[in-house]
C-alpha cells in the first residue's frame, strides 16, 4: 500500500514538473512522425495481466514496396534515438502508473509473446507491477544479456522496499545523464528473447 501511494504521488509530481517537456516532445513528435504521436502496445503486468502500455513514438512507419515495415535501425531516426537516450519516450508511462498498470520501479514490461518462453524462475518477475525503471535498467540497461536482466529482476522481487526504490530512482537519473547501455551490441535496443533453452 505504501509503495502504491508513493507511485501515485511520485507520478503526479513528475508529470506536473515534466509537463513542459511533455508538450515539447508531443509537438516535436507530431512534426517528425505525424499522427499518432503515441505508441501503444499490449504488455504483461502484475500476475501476467495484459495492459496497454503507452510511450512516445521513436520510430517512423516507413515501409518497403510490399507494405512491410522496414528494419528498426532504418525507422529509428536521430530524433527517436534522442528520445530513447534521454528516456523522454517513457514520460507517457506515468499515466500507466497512475492507473495502476505499472509502478515507478519494477521489472520492465516486455512483450506478451515472451510469456511462454520464461522458465519458472523468470516468470517471478510478474509477481510485482512492472516499472518505468528498474534494477536491471540502472545496472547495465540493454547492454546486459537477457539472463542477466532476468536475474536482476528477480533480485528486485525478493528485495523490494521503499528505500530500494528510492535508490533505483536516484541511479536512474545518473544512468540517463550518462546515456549508457541504451543499445545492445549489433542491435538498436535488445535482440529478441528466444527462451533460455533456445539462446540468449
Residues 62-110 have pLDDT tens digits of: 676 666 766 666 677 788 888 888 889 999 999 999 999 999 999 999 9
pLDDT of residue 194: 86
d(CA 45, CA 125): 9
Residue 182: which of 58, 34, 93, 12 has the closest Cα?
58
- The rounded radius of gyration (Å) of the Cα atoms in the chain is 17
Residues 147-191 have pLDDT tens digits of: 999 999 999 999 999 999 999 999 998 888 776 555 544 555 678
Q: Please compute the mean of the pLDDT values over residues 112-126 and round it to a whole number.
A: 94
Is pLDDT of 46 > 90? Answer: yes
pLDDT of residue 104: 97
d(CA 3, CA 156): 14
Residue 139: which of 168, 110, 160, 166 has the closest Cα?
168
d(CA 60, CA 76): 7
Residue 7: band (very low, low, confident or very high) from pLDDT cuts 50, 70, 90: very high
Residues 124-142 have pLDDT tens digits of: 999 999 999 999 999 887 7
pLDDT of residue 199: 43
Kindly state the DSSP code that residue 198 receives in the 8-state scheme.
Answer: G
Residues 13-42 have pLDDT tens digits of: 999 999 999 999 999 988 888 888 999 999
pLDDT of residue 84: 85
With b for 16 or more beta-carbon neighbours within 10 A and e for fewer, the 43-66 pattern comes to bbbbeeeebebbbbbbbbeeeeee
pTM above 0.95, yes or no: no
Angle at Cα 85 formed by Cα 146 and Cα 184, nearest 5°?
Answer: 30
d(CA 198, CA 186): 19
Amino acid at each position: 500500500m505504501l509503495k502504491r501511494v508513493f507511485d501515485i504521488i511520485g507520478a503526479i509530481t513528475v508529470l506536473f514538473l515534466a509537463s513542459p517537456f511533455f508538450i515539447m516532445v508531443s509537438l516535436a513528435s507530431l512534426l517528425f512522425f505525424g499522427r499518432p504521436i503515441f505508441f501503444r502496445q499490449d504488455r504483461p503486468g502484475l500476475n501476467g495481466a495484459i495492459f496497454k502500455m503507452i510511450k512516445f513514438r521513436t520510430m517512423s512507419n516507413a515501409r518497403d514496396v510490399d507494405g512491410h515495415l522496414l528494419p528498426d535501425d532504418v525507422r529509428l531516426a536521430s530524433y527517436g534515438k534522442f528520445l530513447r537516450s534521454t528516456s523522454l519516450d517513457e514520460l507517457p508511462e506515468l499515466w500507466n502508473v497512475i492507473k495502476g498498470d505499472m509502478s515507478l520501479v519494477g521489472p520492465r514490461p516486455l512483450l506478451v509473446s515472451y510469456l511462454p518462453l520464461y522458465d519458472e524462475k523468470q516468470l517471478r518477475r510478474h509477481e510485482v507491477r512492472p516499472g518505468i525503471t528498474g534494477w536491471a535498467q540502472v545496472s547495465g540497461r540493454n547492454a546486459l544479456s537477457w539472463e542477466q536482466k532476468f536475474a536482476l529482476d528477480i533480485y528486485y522481487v525478493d528485495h523490494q522496499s521503499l528505500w530500494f526504490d528510492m535508490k533505483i530512482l536516484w541511479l536512474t537519473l545518473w544512468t540517463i545523464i550518462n546515456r549508457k547501455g541504451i543499445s545492445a551490441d549489433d542491435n538498436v535496443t535488445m535482440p529478441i528473447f528466444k527462451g533460455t533453452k533456445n539462446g540468449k
